[in-house]
A and B are shown apart, each in its own frame.
Chain A
Amino acid sequence: MVKKFVLLILVILSLALFVFSCKQKKQPQAGDEESKGKKTIAVVVSTLNNPWFVVLGNTAKERAEELGYEATIFDSQNDTAKESDHFENIITGGYVAILFNPTDADGSIANVKKAKEAGLPTFCIDREINANDVAATQILSDNYTGCVELGQYFVGKMNKKGTYVELLGILGDNNTWNRSKGFHSVVDNYPELKMVAQQSAEFDRTKAMEVLESILQANPEIDAVFCGNDAMAMGAYQALAAAGKAEKVMVFGFDGAKDVIDSIQEGKIVATGMQFPKKMARMAAEQADEYIKGKRDFPQKVPVAVELVTQENIDKYTAYGRQSEP
């Protein structure tokens, strides 16, 4: 009898805990509190653990607000399951559009499809999904072409010979391969340029530092490091500085993030590919606004050109864009 009573108490406590935790997880709803009366746009960002994506998300939110909407940012933490949860909440939460930076080119398609079926338009920003019939439009960094240009510059700086390391981003992300393939489409034509190691550091600064430290133990005499993003370029530079090789080894990044733009100015990093997160985010918010007002004929994919930033033209650029642009 006592056993049964204890069991009953345990069940009741578990249920209470479950209900409480469900309440804690309540997601922001469109039209909450003072935002009542305004339409709300969801901004879903792959990760807020990288300043570049913070700029992307904040700019999309700010532009949506300038256009008269409420906007809420959701952080997917590079996790497709979390992203899926966000979409579930957005679909039932009364939002009118989704500005979306996907976590996975294939894995994110189902979320966009679900939103479309629920009548919610999705506007992809920077990263693409491998489909051309579910999103309202996709505004994408032209990573491949940007890295072709970066590759040409790399070949020139290396005088067509030497050894280098490549740090890749997240393996499931199209941007990782678009950048790598663009770079190799140029560099692989020069047989005296030898890649001694190619490893993923998942677009992460700390991982890049650790990965390069380990690579340097086996290959201490490299001439350059090509990194698939600027966070990894900073991590690589840190590893080289710690090994006393920062003066000798050239580091190339990709993004146009603030610390790399500053480092190019200081002569620490050689070059990067400037993507335009602010421009892309603003375009996405403006197109969502046009969609809400009735426009439907958007091109499925809009590549946004990436520009090469070097120590020679750094005066034309600022973090995340051009000096002459907002």
Chain B
Amino acid sequence: MKKVYKYAVAVAIVVFLGYFSISFENLDDVREQRRKATFNAARYARDFRDNQLVHVLDQAIDVNELIELFNSNMSEAIKRYGKAPGVSRNYAYLIEGRGQILSIGDDFLDVSTRGPQTQSNAKILSGLYIPGNAVRDASGLVDVSTFSDTMKFNEISGEINKIIVKEVIQPFLDKKPQPGDTISFLGATQVAQDATEEKELQLIEVIPIRLELESSL
């Protein structure tokens, strides 16, 4: 009988020690927690927008000049102004311009930078959601090699775009812009290296970094 008690006590000790010394967690949850604990994309994007981006905005090239260079010599445009974080057929550029709003869509403004009688040259994204890496990449400030995993690098773009929607696009829309109004903008665009192979490029899509309503009709 005593043996039974001994075994019971031994089993209880093993179970007790086992229960308190081992815990099981989902590996994906642990990885996600570890990643989040060491990197905050929103904080990084805030610092990028407030303290870093401002130092490269003077590199922005005039939108008309850049479109002309695309059509006359794409490789020269890439060499002089294009930026890409790795191997890509798309290059990002910082651009600026001034022009008249021709029309206002759900998610964009069509702007002519060459006068009211011409076609639009810039499609300025103005929706409450913006995709893509144009601002991050055109700035040339974020080096993918400094990140241990590329997800962090990718999350930065999403956070930068959120700041732009909240602090650039929304305040601009609050001013109720109308077709015919004149605006000035500075932003980022991405253009494929073969964009002019089949026909001349006339229109580029711009993610705004600065957007000002200069005059209303």
Q: Give Cα A148 to B158, complex, Å.
A: 10
Interface residue stretch chosen among B115-123, B127-135, B176-184: B127-135
Q: In the bound complex, do residue B86 and residue A304 qualify as a contact, i.e. CB atoms below 8 Å apart?
A: yes
A105 within 8 A of partner (CB): yes
B154 within 8 A of partner (CB): yes
Chain B, Cβ-Cβ closest to A137: B145
Chain A positions within 8 Å of B71 at CB level? none
Q: In the bound complex, do residue A174 and residue B150 qualify as a contact, i.e. CB atoms below 8 Å apart?
A: yes
A195 within 8 A of partner (CB): no
B-side residues, CB < 8 A to A, are 27-28, 31, 84-90, 129, 131-133, 144-151, 154, 158
CB distance from A179 to the nearest CB of B (A): 11
Q: In the bound complex, do residue A182 and residue B150 qualify as a contact, i.e. CB atoms below 8 Å apart?
A: no
Chain A positions within 8 Å of B148 at CB level? 130-132
Q: In the bound complex, do residue A305 and residue B28 qualify as a contact, i.e. CB atoms below 8 Å apart?
A: no
A237 within 8 A of partner (CB): no
Q: In the bound complex, do residue B150 and residue A144 qualify as a contact, i.e. CB atoms below 8 Å apart?
A: yes
A-side residues, CB < 8 A to B, are 105-106, 128, 130-132, 139-140, 142, 144-145, 148, 151-152, 171-172, 174, 177-178, 181-182, 185-186, 189, 279, 283, 299-305, 307
Chain B, Cβ-Cβ closest to A299: B145
Q: In the bound complex, do residue A300 and residue B87 qualify as a contact, i.e. CB atoms below 8 Å apart?
A: no
Q: In the bound complex, do residue A140 and residue B146 qualify as a contact, i.e. CB atoms below 8 Å apart?
A: no
Contact pick for B86, options A105, A131, A174, A303, CB 8 Å:
A303
Q: In the bound complex, do residue B133 and residue A145 qualify as a contact, i.e. CB atoms below 8 Å apart?
A: yes
Question: What are 8 A-B pairs at a CB distance below 8 A?
Answer: A106-B31, A128-B149, A132-B145, A140-B150, A142-B86, A144-B151, A171-B28, A303-B88
Q: In the bound complex, do residue A300 and residue B149 qualify as a contact, i.e. CB atoms below 8 Å apart?
A: no
Q: Give Cα A186 to B154, complex, Å.
A: 13
CB distance from A53 to the nearest CB of B (A): 19
Chain B positions within 8 Å of A106 at CB level? 31
Q: Give Cα A279 to B145, complex, Å.
A: 20
Q: Rank and list the top 4 A-B pairs by shortest CB-CB distance, nearest first.
A: A303-B86, A305-B88, A300-B145, A144-B154
Q: Give Cα A185 to B129, complex, Å.
A: 10
Chain A positions within 8 Å of B151 at CB level? 144, 174, 177-178, 181
Contact pick for B149, options A148, A174, A305, CB 8 Å:
A174
Q: In the bound complex, do residue A301 and residue B129 qualify as a contact, i.e. CB atoms below 8 Å apart?
A: no
Assuming the contacts A106-B31, A172-B28, A301-B145, asked whether A178 and B150 have C-beta atoms less than 8 A apart, the reply is yes
Q: Give Cα A307 to B150, complex, Å.
A: 18
CB distance from A171 to the nearest CB of B (A): 6
Q: Give Cα A144 to B144, complex, Å.
A: 13
Q: Give Cα A174 to B133, complex, Å.
A: 19
Q: In the bound complex, do residue A304 and residue B87 qualify as a contact, i.e. CB atoms below 8 Å apart?
A: yes
CB distance from A94 to the nearest CB of B (A): 30
Assuming the contacts A106-B31, A302-B87, A305-B87, asked whether A152 and B150 have C-beta atoms less than 8 A apart, the reply is no
Q: Give Cα A303 to B86, complex, Å.
A: 5
Chain B, Cβ-Cβ closest to A144: B154
Q: Give Cα A303 to B157, complex, Å.
A: 15
Q: In the bound complex, do residue B28 and residue A301 qualify as a contact, i.e. CB atoms below 8 Å apart?
A: no
Chain A, Cβ-Cβ closest to B155: A181
Q: In the bound complex, do residue A148 and residue B131 qualify as a contact, i.e. CB atoms below 8 Å apart?
A: yes
CB distance from B162 to the nearest CB of A (A): 10
Chain B positions within 8 Å of A132 at CB level? 145-148
Q: In the bound complex, do residue A305 and residue B150 qualify as a contact, i.e. CB atoms below 8 Å apart?
A: no
CB distance from A308 to the nearest CB of B (A): 11
Q: In the bound complex, do residue A178 and residue B154 qualify as a contact, i.e. CB atoms below 8 Å apart?
A: yes
Q: Give Cα A100 to B166, complex, Å.
A: 42
- Starting from the known contacts A132-B146, A303-B144, 19 additional A-B residue pairs (CB-CB under 8 Å) come to A105-B149, A130-B149, A140-B150, A142-B88, A172-B28, A174-B150, A181-B154, A185-B131, A185-B158, A189-B129, A279-B87, A283-B87, A300-B145, A301-B86, A301-B144, A301-B145, A302-B87, A303-B87, A304-B86
Chain B, Cβ-Cβ closest to A132: B148
Chain B positions within 8 Å of A144 at CB level? 150-151, 154
Assuming the contacts A132-B145, A132-B148, asked whether A172 and B27 have C-beta atoms less than 8 A apart, the reply is yes
Contact pick for B147, options A181, A279, A301, A305, CB 8 Å:
A301
